[in-house]
Amino acid sequence: MEESVPVVDFSAYSLDRESPDPEHFQKLIDDVHQALTTIGFMYLKNFGIPAEMISDAFTTSKRFFQLPLNEKMKCAGPEGSFYGYHHMEKEGLNPRRASNDLKEVFGCIPIEGTSTVFPEEELPEFRKCLTDLFHSAILLEYRVLEIIARGLKLDDPFYFTDRHKLTGTNGNMTSIRSLYYPSLVNVDIKEDQVRCGEHCDYGGITLLFQDTQPGLEVKNVHGKWIPASPIEGTLMVNVGELMQRWTSDKVVATEHRVLVPSDQIEHERQSIAIFGNPDNEVSIECIDGSNKYPPTTIIDMLNMKFEQTFGYNPAKEDPGSS
């Protein structure tokens, strides 16, 4: 039987619940642990974020990406910034590929005082829709982190969540990125060019909302690429390299990519990702005390990864002035 990304029912600890359902809680813990220690990806269903909130974020994001390029460029971040607007082929997540990715991006840390420019006149609801989804997703992230800690049988089930307390402030670099993959009917696609190059996420855990279009693939432990196409009513959760390091390789960060299916070339595609990270000053040390990896911080990890991939250090920027 061909391996696939597992679907995990989160209803035992959905955001709709004030506390876990004791009857089904252990199964949820076991299912999440199995998924994240094997393939590093899982679909979550029944997670509790309102469908309307997700839909609004997608709708306003699409309106933003359909603005004229000169309007979108007013929202571009400074050169070398990870935030703001990035036009198509600006970014290439796999530096081994000769051509950059066929996608557009708008990213931000939605905190008070951020200098990331939003299209306030053309699309005043854009900031609110992204911010609302960000804050709901963070509440879900905290619950997923608790589940991961329980699956690893840590003495403190809130070990990870207690190290994410500053999310949504200048002391934490958790961010939201809206990604748009335009129709490629009139685009000169270069040899070996893809919508999003092969990469592992860099930080803690990622929550990914997809629209209905396929293209996402995940590399399993056998080195085979398997589809991670959208499933209605679910979101995707995956592990970043920092979390793998933090857990001494017990949970795994997995390479993934977005291709251009030959039968989908005319279709637009959207996704929205929340890249969850621990607080900036937290020392990341192997939780089992093995010292398999030397201590680091999310800032140092992002500096290293962005230099490897892009040749610059956006993590050195003050999130409040990104």
Q: Is the pLDDT of residue 177 over 80?
A: yes
Q: Model's pTM, two decimal places?
A: 0.94
Predicted confidence band of residue 14 (pLDDT cuts 50, 70, 90): very high
Report yes or no on 38 lying in a domain. Answer: yes
DSSP 82-130: SSEEE-TTS--S-TTSSS--S-EEEEE---TT------TTT-TTHHHHH
pLDDT of residue 321: 36
Report yes or no on 82 lying in a domain. Answer: yes
Residue in 60, 318, 51, 306 with CA at minimum distance from that of residue 180: 60
Q: Is the pLDDT of residue 29 over 50?
A: yes
pLDDT of residue 165: 95
Cα–Cα distance between 40 and 256 in angstroms, integer?
10
pLDDT of residue 314: 53
Which residues are 181's β-sheet partners? 269
Report yes or no on 137 lying in a domain. Answer: yes
> Residue range 186-209: average pLDDT?
94
**Strand 196-199 versus strand 225-227 pairing type:** unpaired
Predicted confidence band of residue 118 (pLDDT cuts 50, 70, 90): very high
CATH code (residue 248): 2.60.120.330
Report yes or no on 210 lying in a domain. Answer: yes
Report yes or no on 285 lying in a domain. Answer: yes
Report yes or no on 43 lying in a domain. Answer: yes
Q: Is the pLDDT of residue 212 over 50?
A: yes
Percent of the chain with pLDDT over 90: 83
Q: Is the pLDDT of residue 316 over 70?
A: no
Predicted confidence band of residue 40 (pLDDT cuts 50, 70, 90): very high
Average model confidence (pLDDT) for the chain?
92
Which residues are 84's β-sheet partners? 76, 107
Report yes or no on 321 lying in a domain. Answer: no
- In the structure encoding, which two tokens stand for residue 234, read together? 């679910």
Predicted confidence band of residue 312 (pLDDT cuts 50, 70, 90): low
- In the structure encoding, which two tokens stand for residue 71, read together? 């309007």
Q: Show Cβ contacts of residue 66 under 8 Å, excluding neighbours closer than 6 positions.
A: none
How buried is 243 (Cβ within 10 angstroms: 0-12 exposed, 13-18 middle, 19+ buried)?
Answer: buried
DSSP 197-247: EEE---SSEEEEEE-S---EEEE-TTS-EEE----TTEEEEEE-HHHHHHT
The structural domain count of the chain equals: 1
Q: Is the pLDDT of residue 319 over 60?
A: no
Which residues are 239's β-sheet partners? 205
Report yes or no on 317 lying in a domain. Answer: no
| Domain containing residue 168 | 7-310
Predicted confidence band of residue 260 (pLDDT cuts 50, 70, 90): confident
